Each structure stands twice: as C-alpha cells, then as structure tokens.
Amino acid sequence: MRLPIVLDTDPGIDDAAAIAAALFAPELDVQLITTVAGNVSVEKTTRNALQLLHFWQADVPLAQGAAAPMLRPLRDAADVHGESGMEGYDFVEHNRQPLAKPAFIAIRDAVMSAPEPLTLVAIGPLTNIALLLTHYPECIFNIRRLVIMGGSAGRGNFTPNAEFNIAIDPEAAARVFQSGIDIVMCGLDVTNQAVLTPDYLEQLPQLNETGKMLHSLFSHYRSGSMSSGLRMHDLCAIAWLVRPELFALSPCFVAVETQGTWTAGATVVDIEGRLGQHANAQVALGLDVDGFRRWVSEVLALAP
C-alpha cells in the first residue's frame, strides 16, 4: 500500500530534490502539492513547482497558497536559492495552471474526501497548515500526522536561535504545534547532517535527466558547496516517511517563541521534560547519515 500524502512546499532548490523523492518513492502517493511563500514569493514557488511537475510529466494537482505569513511581512531566502528560487536550469515553457482555490481549501477538500486519513508533509513555512487548522479544525480527525522540516533543538540557521521555516511565520508554527495533531519534526538537528557528498554530486549528471537538472540547480545552491557537500534539509521529511528507521526520534514538548525581539521563531524543545508539559511532537535528534545517502541514491535513480 502506498502512503497517500499532501506535500506543502516552497521551491526552493532542496525542495526540488524533495519533490522528486516524494513523486518517485514507490512507497508514496502524492495526492496534492500546495505552495507557500518562503524561499521566494508564492508566485515564484508556484511557478517553480509547476515547472517541476511539467518536467516530470507528473499528473498531480497543485494549489497556490499563502502569499505572506499570518502576521508578519515576508522575509525570503533568495540569497540561498537565487532570485527565482531555482536558479541554474532552463525549464521549458508549459501551460499548467494551479487549481482555482487557495491551498488551505484544497488541503481541506483532499483531507475530508480521503477514504483514509491523509499524511501532510510541510517543508516550508507552516502558514497554509495553520490556516487549514484555524478555518477547518474538523480536518484534524482525518489527518494521520504532519511531518515537517523545520525547527531545531539547538541553534538556528536564520537567526542564532531560529530555523528558517519556523522563523518566517512563528505565529503559524505556534498554532500548528498547539493543535493536538500528531507531529514529526525533522529539524536542523538531523538536516544539518543530511549532506550529499561531492563525489555523489559529481555523478548526478550521469544518473538520468533528473540528475542533470538537480546538478544544475545544486551548482547554484548556497547551503554548503559542491566541493564540500550540500545539506538536503527538505529531503529529510520525505526520508522519514519511507525510511523511519534511519532516524532517532524523541517525544518532546515543543513551544514556538513568537514575542522575543531576538528569539522569535525559536523552537523550545523540552528534551528532558523539565517544563512538565505533555509531548506534542516526535522530534528527530539523530540520523543514520550513510543510510540516508544510500536512500537518496536509490530514490533519485527511480526518477526519469
């Protein structure tokens, strides 16, 4: 049985690799892709996602989502992913269009019509998921779990204490972690270890057309370097879905700081249970790096 999922994303170069893995992992069935503002504007993330779907000739509906965080102006990561969000590869023209409804409504429709609970996977800011839970709280009962790439039990990568996806919309993240939904959090504690080696990156163009495309994108990705290795943050969320044995998870209470001038977006991960709160997430704290790299090699080889 393939696991039905909804993938919420903000492509983004490492998002492109994660989308490839989600589409071609034989264990997964991508029912819907939704976009959100994050790495670049939502217009650009939507264009990028549609370009990827056309590249792979994938018949998956796509809905455009939130253009801005719930309460804050958007701060993007064009300095990491390039001005378009996917610099480095010339995609062909196409006439694909997003659905004529916003992402949170498209997710609601997918969840409520699904014959079995759906798994949501969010690898960008959590704005769309927070809007879904705010406007349609009844959806919780047909959501199996939410797997996110975001947060950190230690240091941040956007501010000293905050990881990018959470820092872009802390209020949305706080709403999600307070919702009671079953959450698996793949944060920087594991994603900073999820490095593809220079040797593997060098061989990508010989793999297939997908390998050529990703190699071109990776050449412009600034989360590491082609000569020292690249961190594949978003791929970790997909990897957990199909290879959970690669991860060491710990049940923790996670709170999201929304008020601090210097700490907004920080995830307070109570590993030791000192706050006396019930765990609201399974937090990934360890990764089998060699196993992760083997899986990435296997799944990308399945792409066209």
> From CA 58, how far away is CA 54, in angstroms rounded?
6
Closest CA to 129 of 234, 36, 238, 257: 36
CA atoms within 13 A on the CB side of 203: 9
- Annotated active-site residue in 94, 220, 233, 278: 233
104 contacts 73 by C-beta, under 8 angstroms: no
- The residues, ordered by sequence, that sit 6+ positions from 120 with a Cβ below 8 Å of its Cβ are 5, 6, 8, 107, 111, 129, 143, 145, 146, 147
Closest CA to 223 of 17, 25, 69, 68: 17
Looking up tokens 């989600």 gives: 22
Tokens describing residue 223:
């989360």
CA atoms within 13 A on the CB side of 285: 13
- What Cα–Cα distance (Å) separates residue 7 from each residue in 217, 220, 227, 228, 234? 21, 24, 30, 29, 11
Tokens describing residue 147:
């797997």
| Active-site residue, 233 included | yes
- DSSP assignment string, 132-164: HHHH-GGGGGGEEEEEEE---SS--SSSSSB-H
Looking up tokens 């993240």 gives: 173
User: What is the Cα Rg of the chain in Å?
Assistant: 18
As annotated, the active-site residues are 233
